[in-house]
Structure 1
């Protein structure tokens, strides 16, 4: 667990003194009323305590930064309260907020001591200085109590984090690796739940304050004067910004969002039709995903992609409609049907119109068109609408609903990418199309709400029992569909036939093609700079190791993640996996790093190699390589190091490990030396 914490929070420690500033600022922003409503700064202060226990931060320095930050945040809130006394209070609707009323009662009962007590009361913390200012507390007296409140807050939360870190340190040796993993998941889920709950509680306050500010702006003399000169325009704007009617601000926001998403979708479609670089990125990402395949992840993403199964979606649709009918929310039922109906119709039309074939690298065999992804569209249009229903029925908060909507869309879209059932542009297009369908469904539901939403009424108990049985049956069916989801598998891609040539011959196909490697996004290119004839990869490794190169770990999701964590912690190994470059849309298959003695581990010479179709009479295969200088993880920030190829050729020739047998002259590169390894 502590290793996981150490990997999650190393950036703060790496910032040095700026890490203290970040944590201190978090404490101050939580004490400031507008940001304190949603920013969980205390959580970051607690994390700072864990880092103190790990020896990553100094205790006294952190205490001072947290105390001063919280004091400054209280001062800013007090100033805001003084400003509110001069006519802003009613316009911000602060007095109607439950947290403000709690703070007001606390201050009335305990006076200045309430400022100290409020530090430990979550959302109330930012309201106590505000209430003190509104109540007319003297500035000098407030500052004394505010200064007294900062240090206890800092000591308690930094100490809590320290104790938490010490407790994990004691428990870790007694737990198995699986237990620590499960505990870590539970802790992360609990923290996420706490943050979402806090944000959900903050949304009504923030909306009330934003509404008050809009009203205050509308009452400004200059705005009034402009409205008097342009009454029709002012009336139209007022109708568009009316928060009390669906045809006002809600419809305006939905329309703007629809127009924006539609324009992005049109642009993405044109990129595909014009074969812009996004098509090349699609092919490279599909090839890269196959390198990340593992049996465990394939099973997990198969379960996730099963959420787009037709029978499963039909079961969830029936379940939702049954509950909505029982609740007499026909407005929401209509919006759900409209969103899903638009999804299905538009996906069928666009798939037929674009006719894009599926990738031959896909895990499952699919016969429908590739663009756009029906699963990605469904993840937004259907599952997003289900989440909207839960929010509209007050079962979850607005931020929790948004999080769940993004989670469904992200996981289902990622499952299609991981299994190579769709290209990146397919998934992006599906998300955009699904969002358009979702917006229409929401607009229909909101428009029908005053007309079709029936008032709840008492139902016979037998109806509750029947709905309970139906719910259990349909939920059981969906779980079985997820567990047993299966389709015909794609056969492995057919390898291209090998071409036999002499080692000294120059392959015509290579000479006529661009000999340039590219990053995944095609933003940067690197010329191929070396060719090698070798019987196998072990021969290449032995030859390069003899002249000071170290082979990198094979590229997998696990090795790249390990290299990324090592880079963050500044402990990356020279033999860590290298982020691949792409040649002919194929990711590099071998990687090597040369580490000069006493040299830092960033911007080192890196050699990435690809296997070609060419073999000689003995069975040796021609490999092509590109030499760059980069940090191993972000090659786009690196630079070409082609001149180093002559050093490799010279070193291998002098050691007797290889001899030069020819060269290749591409269309956009100088002559590339070709070696035959011995």
Structure 2
């Protein structure tokens, strides 16, 4: 029975010896001062112990790698402390960090033994060697204790992971698949929360360290000498890099970001107007998303896309502005209004200017223009500004705020793509435009913050109660809008009308168009090599199975994810789903693989499309493309020209098919046609 842990940790095992190096690097980074305050190296080492129990890694090799990694990290921290110049400790404000205080106190009490104890105290591990160096501990003595501390740490945590893996193996048969799934989600969420908390606490100190390094560079004799020769330029650069006021480094970074994003938006708009490859990718991705539709995912993404509903946004806006007014944070108040107002105005103007029609494949009926996506713009400009407000009010750390903002933007944009309400270029343009609006809103808020004094005064209880009641009311309304969100649905796209022809007749419409299939990124093409007249997919599958071809599963989202996991674990099967190619922007309907002695990336693949041509007997014309690829990454594949003649010869020799003319093409040689019997 396959253990559930193989689905959680397949990647490191597939990397072979590189898996040991990755775990060792995690142990080293946690033991190094500059990265140990936020890298969860111990958790990764514990995960390595779980993989040892599952037979993915060797225990003794892993212990050696972890021990050496942690020893090297400790050496780097000691070196940093030994070579720190006088005064650097104060500028970096390391002495204000709790892990340093604990490490310093531990070293004073325990001496060299503190290096062994500190290994098991999380971020303190990186500060004990640093504190030892600052205290003047001798090099030989430190090296001995550092080596002695590395192996107990490695043995203990690999053993802990082994015991955890044994527990999972024992209890996993007693749990349902849903229980294991939610347990894995809970563990991932807990690890993510713990990592974000550590990063939030570490960011201020890391910024101080970076500032200290910049100060050291500025004081370097060569830099100082250059400044003396060019005083005006040096003074201008110093003003631009000044971190003490808004017009210095913050303004410099803001202007650079605005110019970069504006250039991206102009470039993307020109790509759309010039029908660059992004337009073709738009159409192909829209077709692909329809293949991934499932009732459950559709409902989830409807709830997510409801976050852009006008009435919901008004309710959230009213709630945010009310609280900001009560808190007298009018800098943030006007920042939110400016970001949202600029968002709405710019989206209306650009939608009217580009007038791009919506995709007919969309789930909901929409009447506004498609370029850019208003939902994507709103996800960055409005929800990003709200996250900034929470950060400024110290309700979120800097890293948590960034992750939350990216999560809002990513999920809302993905919902528009999944429901095919927008094309990829629409969403990308919306994100960029939203980021521009967000930058303006943040700039306004920061500028006002230096000019508006904060007034903090206690509030009567009845006002607090009224605010809470208002918050509950507006919050409940927002939740109800998400739950009840619905619009008129688009009818299913109409199928192309059938064209009845004789099997040997010319097909001018087919010859006039492209007879190449492309990858999703439109950068690689594969020629159509054969056509097949057949009475449905079952007849094609039966004929090909006689020649050793195995029908692949339908390319749904679940099937492709399973195929990807199987590829990583080197346990692929012949009937695994194939990533689709696109002919005239439509994904292939059928896929086949022919397993043999070739390596995975060279296995023959056959993908077929159903055309609108039909003969008097009801047989439909299918077009076939032959490739050699690993089934998922066609960008690494290559056309397999020799497979078509071999298959034709085998089918005609066995009496399964007969030659039925061909398709004349200016791009390629005459494409042969077969008629299955």
* TM bracket (short chain): over 0.9
Aligned counterparts of 1:110 and 1:199: Cα–Cα separation in 2: 29
For residue 143 of structure 1, report the CA deviation from its aligned partner.
Answer: 1.4
> Are the counterparts in 1 of residues 626 and 639 from structure 2 also a CA contact under 8 Å?
yes
Whole-Å Cα distance in 2 between the matches of residues 19 and 160 of structure 1? 18
Q: What is the match of residue 22 of structure 1?
A: 22
3-state DSSP of counterpart to 1:144? helix
Map of 1:628 onto structure 2: 627
Note the alpha carbon deviations across 1:459-482, whole angstroms, 9 max, x for none: 111111011101111110011000
Secondary structure at the aligned position of 1:242 is classed as coil
Distance in 2 between residues matched to 1:453 and 1:163, nearest whole Å: 57
Looking at structure 2, the residues matched to 301 and 453 of structure 1 have their Cα atoms a distance apart, in angstroms, of 42
Alpha-carbon distance, 1:93 to partner: 3.1
Decide whether the 8 Å contact of 1:36 with 1:123 is kept in 2. yes
Matched, 1:323 2:323: yes
Give the structure 1 partner of residue 156 of structure 2.
Answer: 156
Within-5 A mapping of 1:101-250: 101-250=101-250
The answer on whether the counterparts of 2:48 and 2:161 sit within 8 Å (CA) in structure 1 is yes
Displacement of 1:667: 2.3
* Partner Cα distance (1:614, 1:41) in 2: 60
Residue matched to 1:286? 286
Aligned counterpart, 2:503: 503
| Cα shift readout 1:303-336 (whole Å, capped 9, x = no counterpart) | 0000000000111111111111121111011111
For 2:470 and 2:516, the matched residues in 1 are separated by 60
- The unaligned stretches of length 5 or more in structure 1 are none
After TM superposition, list the pairs within 5 Å mapping 1:423-442 onto structure 2. 423-442=423-442
Provide the residue aligned with 2:550 in structure 1. Answer: 550
Contact 1:2 1:169 (8 Å CA) reproduced: no
- Are the counterparts in 1 of residues 3 and 172 from structure 2 also a CA contact under 8 Å? no
Distance 1:427 1:18 in 2: 37
Query: The residue matched to 1:533 in structure 2 has which SS?
Result: strand
Mapped partners of 2:166, 2:386: distance in 1: 43
The alpha-carbon deviation at position 651 of structure 1 amounts to 0.7
Distance 1:236 1:327, change over 3 A: same
Name the structure 2 match of 1:646: 645
Separation in structure 2 between the aligned mates of residue 437 and residue 170 of structure 1, nearest angstrom: 54
Count, aligned residues: 677
Kept in 1, the 8 Å contact 2:605–2:626? The answer is yes
Which moved further from structure 2: 304-313 or 321-330? 321-330
Deviation, structure 1 residue 225: 1.6
CA distance in 2, matches of 1:647, 1:476: 66
Is 1:416–1:422's contact at 8 Å kept on the other side of the alignment? Answer: yes
Matches within 5 A, 1:567-646: 567-596=567-596, 598-646=597-645
Whether the aligned pair in 2 keeps the contact of 1:37 and 1:206 (CA below 8 Å) is no
After superposition, the Cα gap between the structure-2 partners of 1:5 and 1:451, relative to the gap in structure 1 and judged at 3 Å, is farther
Separation of aligned partners in 1, 2:68 and 2:391: 39
- For the residues of structure 1 that align with 2:181 and 2:344, how far apart are their CA atoms? 40
Contact 2:351 2:369 in 1 (8 A): yes
The 8 Å contact of residues 67 and 150 in structure 2, kept in 1 or not, is answered as yes
Change (3 A) 1:453 1:432: farther
Deviation at 1:353?
A: 0.3
Q: Secondary structure at the match of 1:602?
A: helix
Please report how far the alpha carbon of residue 123 of structure 1 lies from its aligned counterpart in structure 2 after TM superposition.
Answer: 1.7
Q: Is the 8 A contact 2:13 2:569 kept in 1?
A: no
Contact 2:91–2:208 (CA under 8 A) maintained in structure 1: no
RMSD: 1.3
Cα 1:338–1:40 shift into 2, 3 Å: same
Deviation at 1:579, TM superposition (A): 0.6
Using the TM superposition, give the Cα deviation of residue 534 of structure 1 relative to its aligned residue in structure 2, in angstroms: 0.8
1:593 and 1:227 map into 2 onto residues whose CA distance is 67
Distance 2:357 2:164 in 1: 54
| Aligned residues of 1:626 and 1:642 also touching (Cα < 8 A) | no
For 1:196 and 1:5, how far apart are their aligned partners in 2?
A: 24
Question: How far, CA to CA, are the matches of 1:3 and 1:382 in structure 2?
Answer: 44
| Comparing 95-104 and 459-468, the one that deviates more | 95-104
- Counterpart contact for 2:92–2:205, Cα < 8 Å: no
Q: Which structure 2 residues correspond to residues 455-604 of structure 1 after superposition, within 5 A?
A: 455-596=455-596, 598-604=597-603
**TM-score, normalized by length of structure 1?**
0.98
Q: TM-score, normalised by structure 2?
A: 0.98
Q: Deviation at 1:109? A: 2.0
Partner of 2:102, secondary structure, is: helix
**Distance (Å, rounded) in 1 between the aligned partners of 2:546 and 2:59:** 49
Alignment of 1:361-440 (within 5 A): 361-440=361-440
SS at match of 2:600: coil
Partners of 1:601 and 1:258 in 2: how far apart?
Answer: 46
Partner SS for 1:382: helix
| Alpha-carbon shift at residue 88 of structure 1 (Å) | 3.4
Q: Distance in 1 between matches of 2:572 and 2:301?
A: 30
Partner secondary structure for residue 83 of structure 2 = helix
SS of residue paired to 2:675: strand
Superposition deviation, residue 94 in structure 1: 2.4
Unaligned runs of 5+ in 2: none
CA contact (8 A) 1:93 1:212 kept: no
Contact 1:657 1:677 in 2 (8 A): yes
- Cα distance in 2 for partners of 1:235, 1:343 equals 37
Runs of 4+ in structure 1 over 2 Å off: 1-5, 7-11, 14-18, 85-99, 598-602
Is contact 1:514–1:667 with CA below 8 Å preserved after alignment? no
Distance 1:350 1:2 in 2: 53
State the match for 1:10 in structure 2: 10
User: Counterpart in 2 of 1:333?
Assistant: 333
Deviates further, 172-181 or 358-367: 172-181
Contact 2:601–2:637 (Cα < 8 Å) also in 1: no
1:412-464: CA deviations, max 9, x gaps? 00000000000000000000000000011111111111222523221111111
Deviations 1:382-426 (CA, angstroms, capped at 9, x unpaired)? 111111111111111111111111111110000000000000000
Matches of 1:11 and 1:156, distance apart in 2:
24
CA separation in 1, counterparts of 2:595 and 2:21? 36
Q: List per-residue Cα deviations over 1:41-60 (Å, max 9, x = no partner).
A: 11211110010010111111
SS, match of residue 591 in structure 1: strand
Q: Secondary structure at the match of 1:544?
A: helix
Quote the residue 2:37 is aligned against. Answer: 37
Greater CA drift, 93-102 or 396-405 = 93-102
